[in-house]
């Protein structure tokens, strides 16, 4: 059983995969965390309150207790997991366990994305009910452990059982103590066109916070983070990690107490969040995913990848490889007509592309980025036969047709804004700050949600549309809704996310055959929350192959290759000005959902031939890159070379990618030590060379690539065993 309870029903041992997590209810009915780490044979960890007694008279017992839901005011001085301000004006909360329930499987979260199960045997849950007797606050802390992988999810449900109002000012669905010493913090930081770079720093003697306050998970930070042993690398060492299934502002925290014990947690950013809880109301937190690995970062990533690909992503496209696409954006920008699009599609068809995507500029009077967002009616000057007509022509060539939207935004120069100037996030009397000449629709309001759902659905019903790129190109300013009373103004960002999730649930449910891809100025909202509704995300607006090595490598810490949009674009690259070979651009993009963003008519005959070959190769390997285990081999952050590989579940097949950015003269060839193969088997490459799995993993595979901006791919298939 994945949840074991000892005979006195005070210690709970959650176990799955290679992981154990132990919580305890002490004599004062406090819920305490005793252990998280490698799997234990039994739950014989005991709690001795003397281990947590103050060592000095100045300390209080609560300052040392390993609370699972620490709260302020009772002598605990760290970062609270839950802060509730009551009618008396204070935030003192004492949560005591009054009951618990265990059950097989996992229950859904209302109105929020979450990890799901397809049958009850996959996981087991325990739900603790805690109450604060003075204020009437009731908290249900829900833990689920997944049997095979050992991932744990946590969420909190806070109910006001009193007759007076309460205000939630902090909430972290996961907060727990760590007992190891000498630890590092690892997280993903960046900016637009430079998303998810690796940052690793020693855990200090104070608090380290990773936050986004932009109303999106953001280009700058990502809700994933890890605490790992100082000697941990890709394949060895302990890794404790969390990711928040949420697409808005968040806070991750690693705090050292006065005895140098660390506590890590994830949840809402209190600087931009609070929630007024009226009598009888319940607030449900986003869900946190906890993953432990004692086989380094690759071991951790394998758990996230499988979990997110199979139990977070949903729908028809969860288990299908994405079609090879071409997007017209970098070929035409806003300057196109129907014939120009048809010409691009014809050239795409001739090299084996399967999906044509019409990007920005097809609606309203949209000839630049300064108008028409919100007016989702086709521009008949550009498209005389409308979306229906162009889609039928594209379909007639044997291609799927896809369309770009930016549904969460409104242009001040639009019919929608002129009719409803109050429908954007704003503060009356203050300037409405524009970014990219646009404002953000107020999705806290049901009537705005319904407008977005209705207008987008009308277009999707009108034509044969097989793909949607859902974009969001700015972050929040003036994040207040005129529909909320002053006491609720700080709820705006979260209410916006709940409104967005409601819209996404309705649209993706009505159109289950459409492949939805999320985008936010590239990778500005690459998070687990969006993957619940859309199985893939545009990884970055930076399509330079050299920069993409770092972006895709960092993204892979938590997110599967199946979730990454990765395209071949023109050279010199529009973001960096760099010129890289068609082959390298293609072999970087092959490690994600492959496509093109360029003018095919501007390519040389050699590049057209190479592009056609790339498409053929992608179709041969895309099931492997979608479902195979992704393993990082060489980090682009550490030198001029980068490498990763995919290995099929049965280890019958492997695909190795090697990339060189800058050449160092007169150096020996790189010998890659492969991973994850069957050591007792033989593997052959496409040129007929045969290798022992053991030799490939211990002596290595020699890479022949030597030049700057070049790449090499080796496809290995198992042959008869020696």
- What is the C-alpha to C-alpha distance for residues 372 and 361, in angstroms, rounded to an integer? 9
Residues 183 and 266 in one domain: yes
Residues 583 and 695 in one domain: no
Neighbours of 285 (CB within 10 A): 28
Residues 178 and 205 in one domain: yes
Domain boundary at 294, 311, 328, which? 311
Total of domains in the chain: 3
- What is the C-alpha to C-alpha distance for residues 171 and 191, in angstroms, rounded to an integer? 27
Contact between residue 482 and residue 445 where contact means Cβ atoms under 8 Å apart? no
User: Using one digit for the tens of pLDDT, what is the confidence trace for 189-205?
Assistant: 999 999 999 999 999 88
Domain presence at residue 427: no
User: Using one digit for the tens of pLDDT, what is the confidence trace for 259-299?
Assistant: 888 999 999 999 999 999 999 999 999 999 999 999 999 99
Residues 95 and 208 in one domain: yes
Determine the pLDDT at residue 405: 98
- Reference 14, options 154, 149, 125, 157; nearest CA is 125
> H-helix or E-strand containing 612?
helix 605-627
User: Using one digit for the tens of pLDDT, what is the confidence trace for 631-672?
Assistant: 999 999 999 999 999 999 999 999 999 999 998 887 888 999
Domain presence at residue 709: yes
Q: Rounded mean pLDDT of the chain? A: 95
Q: Report the CATH number at residue 387.
A: 3.20.20.70
Indicate the pLDDT class of residue 53, thresholds 50, 70 and 90. Answer: low
Determine the pLDDT at residue 706: 84
Cα torsion 231, 232, 233, 235 to 10°: value is 120
Q: Which 3 state secondary structure label does DSSP give 613?
A: helix
Burial classification of residue 195, based on how many CB atoms lie within 10 Å of its CB (0-12 exposed, 13-18 middle, 19 or more buried): buried
Q: Which has more confidence, 261 or 412? A: 412
Indicate the pLDDT class of residue 258, thresholds 50, 70 and 90. Answer: confident
Domain presence at residue 492: no
Cα torsion 599, 601, 605, 609 to 10°: value is 60
Domain presence at residue 364: yes
Q: Is the pLDDT of residue 47 over 90?
A: no
Residues 165 and 233 in one domain: yes
For residue 347, cis peptide bond before it (omega within 30 degrees of 0): no
Determine the pLDDT at residue 43: 60
Residues 74 and 200 in one domain: yes
- What is the C-alpha to C-alpha distance for residues 70 and 92, in angstroms, rounded to an integer? 11
Determine the pLDDT at residue 198: 97
Domain presence at residue 488: no
Burial classification of residue 257, based on how many CB atoms lie within 10 Å of its CB (0-12 exposed, 13-18 middle, 19 or more buried): middle
Domain presence at residue 501: no
Q: Is the pLDDT of residue 480 over 90?
A: yes
Residues 295 and 390 in one domain: no
Residues 275 and 370 in one domain: no
- What is the C-alpha to C-alpha distance for residues 538 and 402, in angstroms, rounded to an integer? 14
Domain presence at residue 435: no
Give mean pLDDT, residues 436-442.
97
Pick from 71-80, 105-114, 318-327, 403-412: least confident: 71-80
- What is the C-alpha to C-alpha distance for residues 62 and 76, in angstroms, rounded to an integer? 5
Give mean pLDDT, residues 214-239.
97
Residues 649 and 568 in one domain: no
Residues 366 and 459 in one domain: yes
User: Using one digit for the tens of pLDDT, what is the confidence trace for 589-631?
Assistant: 999 999 999 999 899 999 999 999 999 999 999 999 999 999 9
- What is the C-alpha to C-alpha distance for residues 534 and 57, in angstroms, rounded to an integer? 55
What percent of the chain lies above the pLDDT cut of 70? 98
Domain presence at residue 495: no
User: Using one digit for the tens of pLDDT, what is the confidence trace for 56-88?
Assistant: 567 787 888 999 999 998 888 899 999 999 988
User: Using one digit for the tens of pLDDT, what is the confidence trace for 361-375?
Assistant: 999 999 999 999 999
Determine the pLDDT at residue 57: 62
Q: Report the CATH number at residue 640.
A: 2.60.40.1180
Domain boundary at 287, 311, 335, which? 311
Q: Report the CATH number at residue 200.
A: 2.70.98.60
Neighbours of 553 (CB within 10 A): 21
Give mean pLDDT, residues 397-404.
98
Instruction: Read off the tokens for 127.
Output: 């739900």
Q: Is the pLDDT of residue 722 over 50?
A: no
The residue range of the domain holding 94 is 3-311
Domain boundary at 566, 591, 626, which? 626
Q: How far is CA 686 from CA 125, 619, 683, 692, in A?
A: 47, 16, 10, 15
Indicate the pLDDT class of residue 54, thresholds 50, 70 and 90. Answer: low
User: Using one digit for the tens of pLDDT, what is the confidence trace for 556-585?
Assistant: 999 999 999 999 999 999 999 999 999 999
Residues 565 and 586 in one domain: yes
Determine the pLDDT at residue 1: 60
- Reference 705, options 646, 661, 674; nearest CA is 661
Do strands 207-212 and 250-256 pair parallel, antiparallel, or not at all (unpaired)? Answer: antiparallel
DSSP 443: T
Residues 572 and 666 in one domain: no
Determine the pLDDT at residue 260: 84
Q: Is the pLDDT of residue 319 over 60?
A: yes
How is the beta sheet containing 275-277 ordered, strand by strand? Answer: 82-85, 166-171, 275-277
- What are the residue numbers of the active site? 471, 541
Q: Is the pLDDT of residue 51 over 80?
A: no
Q: Is the pLDDT of residue 455 over 50?
A: yes
Give mean pLDDT, residues 228-237.
97
């Amino acid at each position: 059983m994945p949840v074991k309870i000892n005979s006195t029903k005070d210690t709970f041992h959650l176990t799955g995969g290679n992981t154990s997590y132990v919580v305890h209810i002490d004599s004062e009915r406090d819920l305490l965390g005793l252990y998280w780490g490698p799997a234990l044979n039994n739950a014989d960890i005991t709690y001795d309150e003397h281990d947590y007694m103050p060592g000095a008279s100045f300390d209080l017992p609560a300052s040392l207790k390993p609370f699972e839901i620490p709260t302020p005011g009772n002598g605990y001085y760290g970062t609270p997991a839950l802060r509730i301000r009551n009618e008396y004006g204070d935030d003192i909360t004492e949560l005591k366990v009054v009951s618990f329930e265990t059950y097989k499987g996992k229950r859904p979260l209302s109105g929020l994305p979450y990890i799901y199960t397809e049958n009850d045997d996959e996981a087991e849950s325990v739900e603790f009910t805690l109450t604060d007797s003075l204020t009437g606050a009731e908290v249900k802390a829900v833990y689920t452990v997944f049997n095979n992988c050992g991932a744990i999810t946590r969420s909190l449900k806070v109910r006001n059982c009193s007759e007076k109002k309460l205000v939630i000012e902090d909430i972290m669905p996961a907060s727990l103590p760590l007992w190891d010493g000498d630890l590092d913090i690892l997280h993903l930081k960046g900016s637009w066109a430079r998303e998810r770079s690796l940052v690793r720093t020693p855990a200090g003697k104070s608090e380290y916070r990773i936050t986004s306050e932009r109303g999106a998970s953001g280009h700058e930070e990502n809700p994933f983070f890890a605490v790992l042993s100082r000697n941990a690398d890709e394949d060895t060492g302990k890794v404790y990690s969390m990711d928040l299934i949420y697409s808005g502002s968040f806070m991750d925290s690693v705090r050292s107490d006065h005895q140098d014990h660390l506590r890590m947690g994830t949840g809402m950013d209190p600087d931009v969040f609070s929630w007024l809880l009226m009598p009888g109301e319940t607030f449900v937190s986003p869900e946190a995913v906890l993953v432990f690995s004692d086989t380094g970062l690759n071991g951790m990533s394998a758990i996230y990848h499988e979990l997110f690909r199979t139990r977070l992503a949903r729908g028809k496209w969860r288990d299908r490889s994405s079609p090879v696409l071409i997007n017209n954006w970098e070929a035409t920008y806003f300057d196109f007509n129907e014939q120009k699009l048809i010409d691009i599609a014809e050239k795409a068809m001739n090299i084996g592309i399967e999906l044509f995507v019409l990007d920005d500029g097809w609606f309203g009077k949209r000839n630049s980025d300064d108008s028409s967002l919100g007016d989702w009616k086709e521009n008949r000057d550009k498209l005389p036969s409308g979306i229906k007509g162009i889609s039928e022509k594209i379909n007639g060539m044997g291609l799927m047709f896809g369309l770009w939207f930016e549904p969460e935004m409104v242009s001040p120069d639009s019919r929608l804004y002129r009719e409803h100037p109050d429908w954007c996030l704003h503060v009356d009397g203050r300037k409405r700050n524009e970014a990219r000449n646009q404002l953000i629709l107020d999705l806290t309001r049901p009537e705005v949600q319904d407008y977005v759902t209705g207008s987008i659905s009308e277009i999707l019903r009108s034509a044969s549309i097989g793909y949607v790129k859902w974009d969001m190109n700015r972050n929040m300013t003036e994040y207040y809704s005129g529909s909320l009373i002053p006491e609720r103004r700080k709820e705006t960002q979260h209410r916006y996310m709940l409104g967005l999730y409601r819209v996404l649930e309705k649209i993706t449910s009505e159109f289950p055959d459409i492949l939805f891809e999320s985008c936010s100025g590239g990778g500005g909202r690459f998070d687990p929350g969006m993957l619940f509704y859309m199985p893939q995300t545009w990884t970055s607006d930076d399509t330079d192959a050299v920069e993409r090595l770092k972006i895709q490598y960092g993204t892979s810490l938590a997110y599967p290759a199946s979730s990454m949009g990765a395209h071949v674009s023109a050279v010199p690259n529009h973001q960096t000005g760099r010129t890289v070979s068609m082959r390298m651009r293609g072999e970087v993009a092959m490690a994600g959902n492959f496509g093109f963003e360029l003018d095919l008519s501007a390519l040389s005959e050699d590049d057209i031939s190479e592009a056609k070959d790339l498409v053929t190769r992608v179709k041969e390997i895309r099931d492997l890159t979608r479902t195979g285990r992704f393993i990082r081999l060489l980090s682009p952050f550490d030198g001029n070379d980068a490498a990763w590989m995919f290995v099929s579940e049965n280890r019958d097949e492997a695909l190795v990618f090697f990339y060189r950015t800058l050449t160092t003269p007169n150096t020996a060839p790189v010998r890659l030590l492969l991973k994850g193969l069957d050591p007792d088997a033989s593997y052959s490459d496409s040129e007929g060379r045969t290798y022992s799995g053991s030799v490939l993993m211990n002596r290595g595979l020699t890479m022949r690539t030597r030049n700057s901006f070049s790449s090499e791919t080796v496809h290995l298939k198992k042959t008869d065993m020696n």
